[in-house]
Amino acid sequence: MRLLGIFLVLGVLGCHREAEPGSSRANPTTAVHSKAPSPPPAPQAPLPGDSSYEYRLPAVPHWVAIGDLHGDFEATRAVFRLAGATDDKDHWRGGDLVVIQTGDQLDRGDGERSILDFLERLSAEAELAHGKLVVLNGNHETMNALGDFRYVTEGALHAFDDLLPSSPLAARYPGPLEGRARAFLPGGAMAIRLARRKVVVQVGDTLFAHAGVRAPHLDYGLDRLNRETSEWLVGKTSTPPRLVVDDEGPLWTRVYGSPELSSESCSVLERALARLGAKRMVVGHTVQKSISNGCDGKVIRIDVGMSAYYGGAQVMALDYKNGELRPLVGPR
């Protein structure tokens, strides 16, 4: 399937390179199946920009985390059924279950529109059932908002052409990319939808981000990062927050994806978790052979290459129930 090259709107992502299929597949470390340890310390004084702790959601007895989807609607349907969130007709059946999807629904597959519409509908159904679907933005969502359409497939190129409102920046993309630009550049219909999401969220004692939070990110402020990303996506500001495009930012860093994590990486992670009063961090972004953990279980990697682009033959999710963590594995 041919991918479409394009110049960037803002020229800020030129240094980012996505891994080829299989090239960044990390080997699993310790299997994830553990009883949660004692409660973590309370968070320290509010972080800069985080006086209201808006990035934090209450602890719940049961949540399931789902990694990268990359345009594969069939894998998306299968993993939500595996999680116990949906029935065989793709409607919410999870009751008060909380599901966190850690970003990268876009690119590399033709089913993007179906995935985004499915997630939008399911979020509303979950709320009615007193559950919750939390969908985060990943680097591929923000790449599209920046006009980086390198990984858009031909089958998905025109899937959003009918949407309004249109981004005022779309005129920069005449020709076949114009419809995509109208939808995803800041102020467009899909960018406005993405603006309702967070980049980082903490549910109880677990922090979720697409690629991972490092201790220096906390000096910027997680509420500030979420707020400024939303303001940029709706077109209120002209440029994204620097952490959105930073190679070592929460959407891009590979520091937690390596098969063997250095003591320095673990130290950075532990400092971040201590400041947040969290026990662990759950991330996607770097493809693993299976759900794996590092730093004595303080980081759990859940991007297992479920999409057809990566040859995913099965789907996996991370299940937390009454203090116990375990991987869920099922067929596509």
Catalytic residue list: 140
Task: Quote the CA–CA distance of 148 and 145 in Å, as a whole number.
Answer: 7
Contact 288, 68 (CB under 8 A): no
Amino acid found at 105? Q
Residue 233 DSSP label? H
**Secondary structure of 128-189 as H, E, C letters:** HCCCEEEEECCHHHHHHHCCCCCCCECCCCCCCCCCCCCCCCHHHCCCCCHHHHHHHCCCCH
Q: How many CA atoms lie within 13 A of 121 on its CB side?
A: 12
Task: Quote the CA–CA distance of 325 and 305 in Å, as a whole number.
Answer: 20
Contact 289, 25 (CB under 8 A): yes
Helical residues (DSSP H) of the chain, grouped into ranges: 73-82, 112-128, 139-145, 178-184, 189-194, 215-220, 222-233, 242-245, 263-276
Q: What angle do CA 280, 282, 283 make, to 5 degrees?
A: 140
Within 10 Å of residue 259's Cβ, how many Cβ atoms?
15
- 165 preceded by a cis bond (ω within 30 of 0): yes
Q: What angle do CA 95, 112, 13 make, to 5 degrees?
A: 115
Contact 182, 188 (CB under 8 A): yes
